[in-house]
Structure 1
Amino acid sequence: MPKLLHLACSPRPDSESAAGARVFLDRFRQARPEWDIDVMDLWRDSLPEFTGALLEAKYARINGRAFTDAERDRFAVAERIAVRFALAERVVISTPMWNFGIPYKLKQWFDIVIQPGLTFRFDPSQGYLPLLKDRPTLVILASGGDFATGMNRGRTDMATPYLREALRFIGVKDVRFVPIGPTTGPVEPVRLARENAHRRLAEMAGRF
């Protein structure tokens, strides 16, 4: 059974990014009922802290040193999370923008899965090489301000370039972004931004 992995990155179930994901996934289920949708809630699923044996395991891989038993056990946890991503034919990431970037739980997820020998390798003659296959990936990015039309009042969207580069580094280049913003402020611009994003998401879901 083909699988879509949804990384849910907002701690608020009624958030704008979560609402956008529901619109997309409801339409996706209608279009592809045979697909399995695997939801990983980064605020409720267990993510290991990047300390101790897991941190040492990363440097063991970099330096070509064998794992200790503790390092092997902790690396296996990171490996299971990365494999969950690697096995998905499609990926949806729904996330808010926090302080111009991404929530720390999503950054923690990237820190866990971006591991040498797991999602990338280094070749002295070619540099860093990704180990994962490309797959269609959708990022639903909700922000308090309007970063889509330029009305951002001088603020910088650092979430989009980070996500694009982090995914590219491990092999995922087919990435599409659907911004939702503004999500705060006067009612009418918020409503229009939500409706436009939901319309676009519903249209994309049928052919994703």
Structure 2
Amino acid sequence: MFESNQTALHLLHIDSSARPGISGRDPHGSHTRRLSARFVERWAAQRPTDTVTYRDVGQHPPAPVDADWVAAAFTRPEKRDAAQEARLAESDRLVAELIAADVVVVGAPMYNFGMPAPLKAWLDNIVRVGVTFGFDRARDGDPYWPMLPTGKTLVTLSARGDYGYDPGGRQAHNNFVESGLAAPLAYIGLHDRHAIAIEYDEFGDQRLAGSIAAAEQAIDALVDRLFVQLKIPEPS
């Protein structure tokens, strides 16, 4: 978790739904956009001087990793040519946004048991050798180590058509959204994480309405709890 002596915090707000609207406001709107917007709005209402970087990978997907990206990423920076630098420019921007963030809020709907392809492309762009993780085959023990600055918090806000995907649920073994984000982000150094989700979307009945209400209440409680647990002072 981030240091309590900070007075100005920065949020990285990522949406990845293919649906551009917000549920409850727009026809066929996104539940995860609804949840991520609520988190950021709740945070900003209490700390209006904190800053937010917004990235909509659902509507503006990062370029997926390809052979040119891999070749550039595994070339030492001083040996990269102009084409390789250009190929990594988007990745550099995404990494810089992550490094600058104290709180990373990700709207991550479940598509076929996993995260949307654009969100996976974002992940692949920010997990970079020599930038967000280190590797040395001659190192004793584990040859890999995280390089992301410590003190960041991850909030994953998901939505599922079915139900029972939380730990202990009937579909928990098929949930690759939260773990798919948590594992690579922990690998590069982001360990403090929280997750909230809406379920029953495909049913569209009172169970969905109840799940939405519960998720929104959980978001409000999480924001308040983070302020208390992290002992965040008022911004100067």
TM over 0.5: yes
Q: For the Cα contact (< 8 Å) 1:100–1:155, is it kept in 2?
A: no
Question: Which position in structure 2 is the counterpart of 1:90?
Answer: 103
Q: 1:16 aligns with which of 31, 42, 56?
A: 31
1:206 deviation in Å? 2.8
Q: Matches of 1:26 and 1:80 in 2, distance apart?
A: 24
1:163-189, Cα deviation, whole Å (9 max, x unpaired): 110110110000111121122215111
SS in 2 for 1:39: strand
Q: 1:131 aligns with which of 147, 151, 155?
A: 147
1:4 deviation in Å? 0.3
Q: Matches of 1:155 and 1:78 in 2, distance apart?
A: 32
CA RMSD of superposed structures (Å): 2.0
Question: Which position in structure 2 is the counterpart of 1:176?
Answer: 194
Deviates more, 1:198-207 or 1:171-180: 198-207
Q: Matches of 2:173 and 2:17 in 1, distance apart?
A: 21
1:66 correspondence with 2:79: yes
Provide runs of 4+ in structure 1 moved above 3 Å: none
What one-letter code is carried by the residue in structure 2 that aligns with 1:150?
A: G
- Percent identical among aligned pairs is 24
1:36 deviation in Å? 1.0
Q: 1:28 to 1:132 in 2, by over 3 A?
A: same
Q: Matches of 1:91 and 1:185 in 2, distance apart?
A: 30
Q: Matches of 1:47 and 1:9 in 2, distance apart?
A: 11
Deviates more, 1:100-109 or 1:65-74: 65-74
Q: 1:7 aligns with which of 5, 10, 14?
A: 14
Q: Matches of 1:26 and 1:203 in 2, distance apart?
A: 13
Q: What is the TM-score when the length of structure 2 is the normalising length?
A: 0.80
Q: Matches of 2:148 and 2:155 in 1, distance apart?
A: 17
Q: What is the TM-score when the length of structure 1 is the normalising length?
A: 0.90
SS in 2 for 1:60: coil
SS in 2 for 1:184: coil
Q: Matches of 2:61 and 2:109 in 1, distance apart?
A: 20
